[in-house]
A = this chain, B = another copy of it.
Amino acid sequence: MSVIRLLVLGAVRQHGRAHGYQVRNDLEYWGAHEWSNAKPGSIYHALKQMAKQGLLHAHETAPSTAGGPPRTEYEITEQGTEEYFRLLRESLTSYDQKPDVLSAGLGLMVDLDRAEALALLEQRMRAIGEWRRSVTEYYTPEDGPGRLGHIGEIMDFWVRSADFGAEWTRGLIERIRAGAYTFAGEGEPFVGVLAEGEENPYATGERHPGDAH
């Protein structure tokens, strides 16, 4: 499950036709550089790779109007659209502890219709529950917890994280069920990408304290 691929496919799809730098800006607008590994190198690599695999179609265009090297524009193919929705559905249902996947799914969930988003999130709840059950069973030594010593803290941390994830998901489900946000097929969609030339209110390279360096 590559978060970059999901994000890049989502960005290209919303634009219809986009070049690398636009995608890069969208991801920054979404804050993706903060919670995922969305860096220039990864983005351009993903575009090229997915073009090679037929998920995107590359158009070589004339050198840009505003300086810089000639740029390549990409369009999503039918195969790419299928892959996009596959990744998006997976990001919302699977519980894999790495929060970047879920974040990407949240940013793009409105490309689904409301009913499906709800169904996927319900499925997520079940997945978390099953994960929790299997892990607590599996890692509890016969002579009770505590037997693991400080290693047990790791498990405690996972399990409580899973509980937190479930609780948060439940809240999200309620908000969506109560009518929050605009999903596919519900009129004017939320504008999630930057138009050509629009400035990004959140774009700075600023670091936050506590960031790992």
Contacts and interface: CB of A to CB of B under 8 A. Distances in A.
The A interface, classified by DSSP as helix, strand, loop or mixed, is helix
Contacts of A130: 208-210
Nearest to A127: B210
Contacts of A206: 138
Categorize the interface residue count of chain A: 35 or more
B190 A172 contact: no
Contacts of A164: 160-161, 164
A192 to B, nearest CB: 7
Number of copies: 2
A153 B135 contact: no
Contacts of A30: 151, 154
Given A107-B150, A150-B190, A201-B141, A157 B212 contact: no
A134 to B, nearest CB: 4
Interface string A182-213: 10000000101000000001100010111111
A151 B192 contact: yes
A127 B210 CA distance: 5
